[in-house]
Amino acid sequence: MHGTGVLESLQALLAADPDVVDRAELGVLIRHGSAVRGFLDAADVRFSRRSRQLADAGRSESPTAVLMDEGRRSGKEARAAQDRDRVCEQFDGFEDALAAGDVSGDHLDVLARLTRNLADDVAADVRAQAADLLASASNDYVSQFERATKDRIACIRSRHSAEAESAELDRQRAESKVKRWTDRASGMKMTLLSLDPLRDSAFHTAVEAQLARLRHDPANAKLPFAQLQVEAVVGAVSSDAPGRRIPEITVHVDHESLCHGRHDHTLCEMSDGTPLPVGTAQRLCCEAIISAVVVDPDGTVRELCAEQRTANRQQRRALRAMYRACAHPHCEVGFDHCRIHHIRWWSQGGKTVLTNLIPLCETHHHLVHEGGWQLSMTPDRITSWIRPDGSIWCRGPSNDRTEAGRRATGPRPRARPPDRLLV
């Protein structure tokens, strides 16, 4: 293990007194500390790798056990060393950059987390961009590197499959859950929410709206902020809470991506910077208030305008008169639980007129936007469902209140809540 520069940094740290240095000298010492820390992190990578080799030969316990026993590390730190070892083996240059202090262990942790469960073909393409990733890690803060790497992986996924871009959001949605238990020591009721980014945004937008209302109420002037937060959460989920409103979700997306799909410079993210699949943003536009912000090349905002582009009450009444349920031939989700979908997407120039509107449940709405399926409809509502490969799966009347439509779709109940119907 070489480390001439590290020895110089260590000697500088041993000779210095951080308690009396000025700002410039403190910056020098911090850089020396980063160099030493990077060298030690790189050493842990090599320790983990050798422990794994010895364990595979039956001559040692696992790398996690070795690092915990001999290095007095936590299990989390020991596992992080193994993850960094994997990154260094898969991405050329990162181990040397870590040892030289050009990148931090946190940069490697980000790369390990973002590449852990990638499909083989996507992972291979990400590894092929090791030089670009290393340049990004060497020049960017960890948060900037994480965001740039997420965008890079999203672009690679979108090239491999039309459905792959939304796979991560689908996984998060499937793994969302609510857990409730009682803490035995305090008797307090505990609730844990694990939510995908979209539902998390909707939930916290509703909470913040309630919190703002409570803070402006003079009766709550002496209530501690922690208690106001609790009241806001309870109010947000109470159907009879005063001031309750439909939660808003803010998505920042560039016009080209919204209309034509992802490109090399796509911007599509939540307000907090969480990346969002372009297909999901396009689907959300089916029922939204769209605010268009004109941004100059220097990044300053020049103009803001808003347009309501959802079906109005009269159009919904007309559609309800034609449809008992989702327009998919096999679906039983009632009309009131459906979204109003634009056959020709609004983002692609479609108008909010009856001849371009059709009710779809959440599942089949997702199928059309993120699943790659297409819909076409004639003026007399003969609808074609087109598979992602371009072949027609089904064609016939979609308005199930007509005799022809009932024959095409079969008998269906008048209303049911959304369920897990799939094509």
Tell me if 338 is assigned to some domain: yes
Scored b (16 or more CB within 10 A) or e, 170-209 reads bebeeeeeeeeeeeeeeeeeeeeeebbbbebbbbbbbbeb
Same domain, 224 and 255: no
Tell me if 302 is assigned to some domain: yes
Number of domains in the chain: 4
Same domain, 338 and 297: no
**pTM of the complete model beyond 0.85:** no
Same domain, 203 and 293: no
Tell me if 166 is assigned to some domain: no
- Mark out the alpha helices in 91-237 (DSSP H runs): 94-100, 105-114, 120-127, 130-139, 142-160, 167-175, 197-215, 225-237
Write the single-letter amino acid at 290: I
Same domain, 264 and 277: yes
Of 160, 195, 216, which marks where a domain is finished? 160
Same domain, 8 and 156: yes
What does the pLDDT look like over 148-196, one tens digit per residue? 898 888 888 777 765 566 677 777 888 999 998 988 888 888 999 999 8
Sign (positive or negative) of CA dihedral 91, 93, 95, 101: negative
Tell me if 149 is assigned to some domain: yes
What does the pLDDT look like over 376-403, one tens digit per residue? 999 888 999 998 888 998 888 888 776 5
What does the pLDDT look like over 18-71, one tens digit per residue? 999 998 999 999 999 988 998 999 999 999 999 999 989 989 888 888 888 898
Tell me if 243 is assigned to some domain: no
Same domain, 135 and 51: yes
Same domain, 13 and 152: yes
Rounded (5°) CA angle 284-121-262 = 30
Tell me if 244 is assigned to some domain: no
Tell me if 214 is assigned to some domain: yes
Q: Residue 274 belongs to what domain range?
A: 251-308
Same domain, 209 and 337: no
Same domain, 33 and 106: yes
The predicted model gives 134-148 an average pLDDT of 90
Tell me if 416 is assigned to some domain: no
Same domain, 72 and 19: yes
What does the pLDDT look like over 215-244, one tens digit per residue? 888 888 888 888 988 988 888 887 555 555
For the range 288-293, what are the long-range contacts, defined as Cβ-Cβ under 8 Å and sequence gap of 24 or more?
292/255
Residue 303 is predicted with a pLDDT of: 60
Same domain, 216 and 362: no
